[in-house]
Chains A and B, each alone.
Chain A
Amino acid sequence: MKARRSRGARALPLPVLLPVLCGAALLGVPLFALVARAPWGRLATELASPEVLTALQLSLYCSVSATALSTLLGVPLAWLLARGEFRGRRLLRALVMLPMILPPVVGGVALLLAFGRRGLVGAWLDQAFGIQLPFTLAGAVLAETFVAMPFLVIAAEGGFRQVDRRLEQAAATLGASRLRVFARITLPLAAPALGAGAALCWARALGEFGATITFAGNLPGRTQTLPLAVYIALETRPEAAFAMSLVLLAVALAVLVALRETWTGR
């Protein structure tokens, strides 16, 4: 192999090289297979089928809504975690991070117990307002938010922490209220981190499977998002499943590239 090596670089010893190659292959080969075996010739036809288009539309709607909801609720939460000094802050952070580690299906079960028709809050919502969340579009959004919001909160908290508090002090001496300091100084300076968090959150919401199918079900045209459609199509129309998988892979790659540019572009 005549690869260019920087001066002084030495070959990796075999006990390191072997697991490195195996590890890379383990991650890379399935993705390569997906690309290699995708029905490239019939890609457009497969993706244009009504079921796929519906699932795609639903997925976009739900993931964008979940990202918006996460931003609305998550940014103040992140700010509080970064700047607040109060008892129970660590507990709050643990609570926020838990859905990242929790099996999504457990999240779905928990959502059912909370917002299901007989759930803690759900029963009241149903009686008082006639609102039913499980097995609805709103339920799918809620499930995706539950799973994806932590990604935004964690990224945003890091962003707020990096903002120089001395600039906020300077703004205060110029007469800016706390709200204005936040809107004109803190928020813009944390914007790259917020953007990265929103992108991660959206990608996670787009791919959400376990919590969504548990809480919102798998109703074609109502709650069947792209990942659910892939899973169902795998048995009946594998080529459609491959095509949809390819779309999800492309989105994930695009987010990764976009984030790389945000993170290194500064």
Chain B
Amino acid sequence: MSLDAALAVQLGRFGLDVAFRVDDGERVALVGPNGAGKTTVLFALAGLIPLERGRIELGGVLLDDPEAGVFVAPEARDIGVVFQDGRLFPHLSALENVAFGLRSRGVKRAERRSRARDWLERVGLGALADARASTLSGGEARKVALARALAIAPRALLLDEPFASLDEDAVIDMRETLRRHLAELRGPCLLVTHDPADTRMLGARTLRLVDGTDLEEMR
């Protein structure tokens, strides 16, 4: 299952126009300065920003193609997203956050809870299952967000600055957690970061994006 993307979006004065491919099981890191359009790339792939031109294809399934009149809604894409600030649902517990996506997939309540608990344990947060998401620290929230995205067994995984605004210990912890889980992950994985050290650590191929249009491979 590979990801083929040609993305063209105009957001006010900012224009994104890039094309790339992420192979099945490949980890690609997208780096570049602030405002280069890295997050826009992720949002377009997730279906949160519709394309104006171009196309997105995942595992042979067309997700967005304005010319062909195809647009698959975000809820039907099966793409896991770990947002920059975690975006946990503050009124739900850590467990309920992780179980959230399973409900839409028709998994029964007891099964949902046991699978969610499992995922929380795998990111080392089993003890916080019943804690309200709004009470978690930044590092904990980020790991719950990772568990939440992985719990739906996504066909592709997108991560937006998974280490941003974490303190040093939390960054080390998160890197280790990510490395473990990305190794098991199937399907393409795209990671946005601004720190090349992150990408080396995760053994990812690195693409550098500048000004929304200039995408080049880094070695």
Contacts and interface: CB of A to CB of B under 8 A. Distances in A.
A12 B51 CA distance: 62
A171 interface: yes
B48 A174 contact: no
A31 interface: no
Interface string B73-91: 1111111110101010111
Interface in A164-193: 166-167, 169-178, 180, 184-185, 188-189
Residue among A171, A172, A173, A189 facing the most chain B CB atoms (10 A cut-off): A173
A189 to B, nearest CB: 6
A194 to B, nearest CB: 13
Contact of A173 (B81, B90, B103): B81
A175 B78 contact: yes
Contact of A176 (B46, B78, B85, B104): B104
Contacts of A188: 91
B105 interface: yes
Measured as residues with beta carbon below 8 angstroms from the partner, the interface class of chain B is 20 to 34
Given A173-B74, A173-B81, A167 B104 contact: no
A169 B83 CA distance: 10
A185 B89 CA distance: 7
B119 interface: no
A171 B80 contact: no
Contacts of A184: 89, 100
B190 interface: no
B87 A172 contact: no
13 contacts: A169-B48, A170-B83, A170-B87, A170-B89, A172-B47, A173-B47, A173-B75, A174-B149, A175-B78, A176-B101, A180-B103, A185-B89, A189-B91
A1 to B, nearest CB: 45
Given A176-B100, A178-B75, A184-B89, 16 more contacts: A166-B83, A166-B85, A169-B48, A169-B74, A173-B47, A173-B81, A174-B100, A174-B148, A174-B149, A174-B152, A175-B75, A175-B76, A176-B104, A177-B104, A188-B91, A189-B91
A204 B152 CA distance: 47
Nearest to A188: B91
Interface in A137-171: 166-167, 169-171
Contacts of B81: 170, 173
Contacts of A172: 47-48, 73-75
A173 B87 CA distance: 11
Interface string A245-259: 000000000000000
Residue among B76, B91, B152 facing the most chain A CB atoms (10 A cut-off): B91
Interface of A: 166-167, 169-178, 180, 184-185, 188-189
Contacts of A185: 89
Nearest to A175: B104
Contacts of B77: 173
B87 A174 contact: no
Contacts of B105: 175
A67 to B, nearest CB: 24
B151 to A, nearest CB: 9
Contacts of A176: 75, 100-101, 103-104
B79 A173 contact: yes
B152 A175 contact: yes
A175 B101 contact: yes
Nearest to B48: A169
Contacts of B101: 174-176
